[in-house]
Structure 1
Amino acid sequence: MSSAVSPDAMIEQLTITPARKLTGQVSDVLKTLSPGDFATQSCNALDLEFSGISGDRHGGFTRKSGGREPWYPRGTEMCNERQVSILCPGELALVAQRMELETVEAAWIGGNIVLEGFPNLSLIPPRTRLVFDGGTVIRVDGDNAPCRVAGRSIAAHVPGRDGLDLLFPKVAKRLRGLVGYVEKPGTISAGESVTAVIPEQWIYNPA
């Protein structure tokens, strides 16, 4: 016999955090110079299509699965929900402090958009819509788990420090920003305002 809570009872027990909106600003936009690059460079503007940032390493409608998707054989083609990497200065500064570095730059770890004005950016929930003043919309897939690839890129910019590739994944969990995909194409520039449209939230507990 199933012990699952009935739908009515479960809904009555839910604690729902209402939807809300937060406003911030774009402080930098960056992209790779070629698809083979990991590190990004600041640019005048980002042109986003439904496939992501044209020419960027993470562009495309699909991508190959990796260590983040152990439920698929590595290299399986899947939808690309990781078209754009979104970071914030406060979290980067905290990561740098934990790594005992003067700085960790968004460009070093492949960031595409740097946003200010959103506390705890990496904890913004999935399904949030980032609506930019120019009309572009990015849908948040979730937080970006830190990896050794980004750690190795940091190490390449800090000669003389061993072990940074392993240290970064340990200290940057839930501080490495967000990943998302293009819901509405357009152009994003530094200085532009952006509104995070955060959906209702609740904890799903079927027991």
Structure 2
Amino acid sequence: MTDTELPPGGGDIVPARKLAARVEGAYAALRGRFQTEPVAGLTLGFDGVAGDFHAGPTRRSGGREPWYARGTEMRNERQLSLVAADELAAVASSMGIAELRPEWIGANLVIAGLPAFSMLPAGTMLFFEGGATVKIDGQNKPCRHAGRSVAENAGMADIEAGALLFPKSAKRLRGLVGWVEKPGRVAVGEGISVRVPEQWIYAA
């Protein structure tokens, strides 16, 4: 059995690899609400972005965690929301709107240079030139709450219909969520060294 094979019943292993990307935009939610605003950069600590709506070492469970009673305190693996401009443009086109701005859906970072950004696997690590490291937890599942924000900001005639359309249009295009593994400053325009982990499908 080679290093790129699994035992019988498994599948091929895709080796780890390194990619390059850059920070195209930075945003923070500092007004106590979900939507973010453009900033020159972000100072990342172990709690995420200080003062941001999603900052903190823990969070309360919601609809994404049906295995817990709603409101259960749990580790905050959603400190940061990361998106890609090309994917937002694809969602906007699908929804029939002129644009979908990152701040409408609470994004903290717009990342450029990575095709199929939302398909990066859990465990991917982003090493920013400024010294910070962010570890990806997984895809950010689109919801009606973000959809309503998009519909309202885009001036859609039927807000409720827009809120319902967003989860369908943004499936696997909503970006990723992650947490700060190593604090540091992230500035717009800086480079990122991306480490995609070894991957396989558990099929046993």
SS at match of 2:91: helix
Identity %: 49
Name the SS for the 1:187 alignment partner: strand
d(CA) in 2 for partners of 1:190, 1:11: 46
Q: Partner of 1:91 in structure 2? A: 87
Opposite residue 18 of structure 1, the aligned amino acid is P
Cα distance in structure 2, aligned partners of 1:160 and 1:176: 19
Distance of 2:141 and 2:10 partners within structure 1: 31
Task: Provide the alpha-carbon RMSD of the alignment.
Answer: 1.4
Task: Please report how far the alpha carbon of residue 158 of structure 1 lies from its aligned counterpart in structure 2 after TM superposition.
Answer: 2.2
Tell me whether 1:15 sits opposite 2:12 in the alignment: yes
TM-score where L is the length of structure 1:
0.92
Per-residue CA deviations over 1:5-40 (Å, capped at 9, x if unaligned) read xxx972685301111011011011000122x21110
Q: Once the 2 structures are TM-superposed, how far is the Cα of residue 160 of structure 1 from its aligned partner?
A: 4.2
For structure 2, the 5+ residue unaligned runs are none
Q: Counterpart in 1 of 2:191?
A: 193
Q: Which residue of 2 aligns with 1:61?
A: 57
Q: Which amino acid aligns with 2:98?
A: E
Helix, strand or coil for the counterpart of 1:164?
Answer: helix
Confirm whether residue 161 of structure 1 aligns to residue 152 of structure 2. Answer: no
| Partner-residue secondary structure (3-state), 2:7 | helix
Runs (4+) off by over 2 Å: 8-14, 158-161
Report the counterpart of residue 66 of structure 2 in structure 1: 70
Three-state SS of the structure 2 residue aligned to 1:17 is coil
CA distance in structure 2 between the partners assigned to 1:159 and 1:96 by the alignment? 13
Instruction: Count residues in correspondence.
Output: 198
TM-score normalised to the size of structure 2?
A: 0.94
Equivalent position of 2:120 in the other structure: 124
The separation in 1 between residues aligned to 2:187 and 2:81, in whole angstroms, is: 15
1:109 equivalent to 2:117? Answer: no
